[in-house]
Amino acid sequence: MDHMGRFERRHAIALWVAREILPHESAVRALLRRLRLLPQDIDEVIQDCYCRFAMLEDVDHIERPRTYFFSAARNIAGRRLRRAKIVPIDSHVAMDLFEDSELPSPEQVAGGRLDFLRMRHFMDALPERCRRIVELRKIEGWSQKEIAAHLGITEKAVEKQVWIGVKAIQRAWREADTAVSERLAAIEAGGQ
């Protein structure tokens, strides 16, 4: 595969992840929390899941991305728990028991949208210069090059603002996922 082929494949998988995987991350984190994984372990399991997704050649064969994400997380978490030897009594059982309905429930769909709406909210919270550029890029759909020409700055300067934007978005997702998964876990715990 040439460099553009790799670039396109990476982009296609990232789009798929944005659409089909990210909205479920908080639910997966809530599962891991219920399995009593420590917060840093949860982060690592999630990261391992993304590593696995990054290795995919293509995603067309994955019919149920949500289920796929859950089982990836479950397998990885299971390996960790076994390796750790300190296995909470119920984790193996719970690991298998966890709901795995193939369709996301409406609250999860809403949760995904919520994250999206939150993202927009976070965009508003970006530093002025960065926000301006992120908006032109995302809402107006201009290329970095066009933005540079429009604002009379170098392309490197635009790229730097995009970088700031990406870092802010990463942080926002992490915070939102942690908060939402805590809430989901609380709901589940309250219901048991």
Q: Identify residues 111-170 at the interface with other proteins (CB under 8 A).
A: 111, 113-117, 119, 123, 134, 137-139, 143-145, 155, 158-160, 162-163, 165-167, 169-170
Q: Of the candidates 114, 137, 111, 113, which has an alpha carbon nearest to the alpha carbon of residue 126?
A: 137
Q: What is the DSSP string of 86-132?
A: ---TTHHHHHHHS---SSPPHHHHHHHHHHHHHHHHHHHTS-HHHHH
What's the closest the beta carbon of residue 3 comes to other proteins, in angstroms?
4
Instruction: Choose the binding region for other proteins from 72-80, 81-89, 92-100 (rule: CB under 8 A).
Output: 92-100
Amino acid identity of 185? A
Instruction: Choose the binding region for other proteins from 7-15, 70-78, 80-88 (rule: CB under 8 A).
Output: 7-15
**21-80: which residues touch other proteins (CB under 8 A)?**
21-22, 40, 47-55
What's the closest the beta carbon of residue 87 comes to other proteins, in angstroms?
17
- The answer to whether 134 touches 123, Cβ cutoff 8 Å, is yes
User: Which of 61, 124, 152, 190: binder of other proteins (CB under 8 A)?
Assistant: 190
What's the closest the beta carbon of residue 85 comes to other proteins, in angstroms?
21
User: Which of 10, 79, 82, 150: binder of other proteins (CB under 8 A)?
Assistant: 10
Q: Which is closer to other proteins, CB of 81 or CB of 176?
A: 176
Residue 29 Cα to chain centre, angstroms:
10
